[in-house]
Amino acid sequence: MKATFKDEIQTFGRSLLLPIAVLAPVGMVMGICSALGQNYMIEKIPFLGNEYCKAIFSSVGSIASIIFQNIPILFAMGVAYGMSKKEKGIAVFAAVIAYLTLLISMNVHLKLSGELVKENMAFVGQGMVLGIHTLKIEALGGIIAGLLAAKVTDRFYRLQLPLAFAFFSGKKSVAIISIGLMIPIGLLIPFVWDWFTFGMSKLSSIMMAPDIGAGIYMTLNRLLIPFGLHHVLSSTIRFTEAGGTYLIDGQVYVGILPAMNKILFELGPNSEAWNEYMPTLASYLASSQMLTTLFRIPAIGLAMYHMAYFKNKKFAKGMILTVVLTAFLGNITEPLEFSFLFIAPKLFIVYAILCGVFAIPLQMLGVSIGYIRGTIFDFGIFGLMYENTHWVNLILLGIVNFIVFYFVFRYAISKFDIKTPGREDEMSDSSLLNNKEYDKVASLVIEALGGKENIKQVENCVSRLRVDVVDQKKLNMDLIRESGALGTFIPSSNHIHVVFGPHVEFVRNSVDDQLH
């Protein structure tokens, strides 16, 4: 039971990635449009003030903004798809219907209880969502709808009804049952909402504590990476009261991401809200992540290269450079983190604590760089193109991070003879991955996992294959290394994570092809 619950939580964490993955590139597009439309940018580059340029930026920004205006329904679909084991398309369909039912059910409760207000809706947590005056529970509503739809789909997609009702059997029953179950949930939520927000506010007092809150969050975020639960933590801070509530321009925004979206894409760096909130919001999003992707990971990679055995330096250089660039360009840090996590777990704990400690100065230095991912592209768009970001302070703090992480890792590797890349007697060969020979990689992976008959289910997240196997004893770690995997992790019995970095989705597709 315990293992099953842990697996469910991990699957839930992965399901949150799909909507978040959509927000990141759309946010970059909105960031560019917003920055190029700012008055200070037009003063520097006058042709941006041309009516055609303004129309283009405004139009593209408006199109992109629809994504952010409908984050809850994105979560409903993403969670339903990720959590359902069967008939994922039906689950997504049911999730949308369940979410609409949730909105109108809460509206009915507010009407019957006389709590529906017509003015100052934001101050009592109400608002218009998809044309329905309802309680604004934001992304949580989408998550509830997605979870319900996934469970109903898996349970009832083969439901058999009496002959008179046979038309409504099977897949058709899923949406109908979802509606029926969501109605009482929607009527109940307003009763318990105050208790929920009270609990989240208590968590917020810790996670959002001035200055040190960002440090606590970043340490926990890193420590949860091996279990795949860091996505759950980040989504909680981004989309619930645990990330604080913010009154901006007469509207209440719940969680750090909706608040940042309002300030970053609409109000701009010359607004009062920017100075008041952005240093705090950014320290939980891109700014703190930039310290990791642009400074800490390169520092650790350099330390590993310098400590590699001379005979392995050439090979280690290519491997380390690949995983460093993966973080620098794509915000995928797990390949490098996994290279020392399991051989030196104490060092990983030190790493997580240092990440938290060195996130604390961000708010003090006023660093106000959006957005989510924290890559070099985010730095260029949201750091350099926007005013009042204090990007120089990020670089200065980043240099300090680079120096500290480099010497800590170099000392630890030498002192404790940690077998980081380049220090093993035999190194894994990543040539198959680099040559994109994913069919050969898949063949090795399937054989290493005990063959087709030993594989129950294969999924993937951003950087790892996540595989359920019948018999864990049949795993062949040497073959896994031969496939070019950067690391492995067994979080629970008969479940293994295999790290392939940015190649993972292509490897998973090839594995699926060969399994079926």
**How many CB atoms sit inside 10 A of residue 399's CB?**
12
For residue 81, is the peptide bond before it cis, meaning its omega torsion is within 30 degrees of 0? no
Q: Name the phi and psi angles at 489, rounded to 5.
A: -150, 135
Please state the domain extents for the chain.
2-200, 208-427, 431-515
How many angstroms separate the CA atoms of 409 and 421, rounded? 13
Backbone angles phi, psi at 374, to 5 degrees: 80, 35
pLDDT in tens, 215-235: 999 999 998 887 767 877 888
| The 464-469 sheet, strands edge to edge | 455-460, 464-469, 495-499, 487-492
CA-CA distance, 137 to 245, in Å (whole number)? 12
Torsion of CA 452, 454, 456, 459, to 10 degrees: -70
Task: Report DSSP letters for 436-484, one per residue.
Answer: T-HHHHHHHHHHHTT-GGGEEEEEE-SSEEEEEES-GGG--HHHHHHTT
Residues 218 and 141: their CA atoms lie apart, in Å, by 26
CA distance 485 to 461: 15
Domain 431-515 belongs to what architecture? Answer: 2-Layer Sandwich (3.30)
Q: Are 405 and 299 in contact (CB under 8 A)?
A: yes
Distance CA 242, CA 234 (A): 10
**pTM of the predicted structure, to 2 decimals:** 0.72
What single letter denotes the amino acid at residue 151? Answer: K
pLDDT in tens, the chain (516 residues): 445 666 677 678 777 777 877 877 887 788 888 888 877 788 888 888 888 888 998 898 888 888 888 889 998 999 999 899 889 999 999 999 999 999 999 999 999 999 888 877 766 778 888 989 998 888 889 999 999 999 999 999 988 888 888 788 888 999 999 999 999 999 999 988 878 877 877 888 888 888 899 999 999 999 888 776 787 788 889 888 888 889 898 888 889 999 999 999 888 898 999 999 999 999 999 999 999 999 999 999 999 999 988 877 877 787 788 888 888 887 888 778 877 887 788 999 999 999 999 999 999 999 999 888 888 988 998 999 899 999 999 999 999 999 999 999 999 999 988 888 777 655 555 677 778 888 888 898 899 888 889 998 888 776 778 888 888 888 888 888 888 887 777 777 788 888 787 788 888 999 989 887
Helix (H) or strand (E) holding 339: helix 334-341
DSSP at 428: P
DSSP alpha helices (H): ranges in 224-310? Answer: 230-239, 256-262, 272-282, 286-290, 297-307
Q: What is the pLDDT of residues 61-90, one digit of tens each?
A: 888 888 888 889 998 999 999 899 889 999
Query: What end-to-end distance do the CA atoms of the chain give, in Å?
Result: 30
Distance between CA atoms of 191 and 369, rounded to whole angstroms? 38
**What pLDDT digit, counting tens, does each position of 417-454 carry?**
888 877 765 555 567 777 888 888 889 889 988 888 99
Q: CA-based angle 238:268:251, to the nearest 5?
A: 55
Angle between helices 2-15 and 71-83 (to 10 degrees): 140
**pLDDT value of position 1:** 46
Of residues 420, 479, 418, the one with CA closest to residue 454: 479
- Identify the CA nearest to 134 among candidates 168, 104, 113: 104
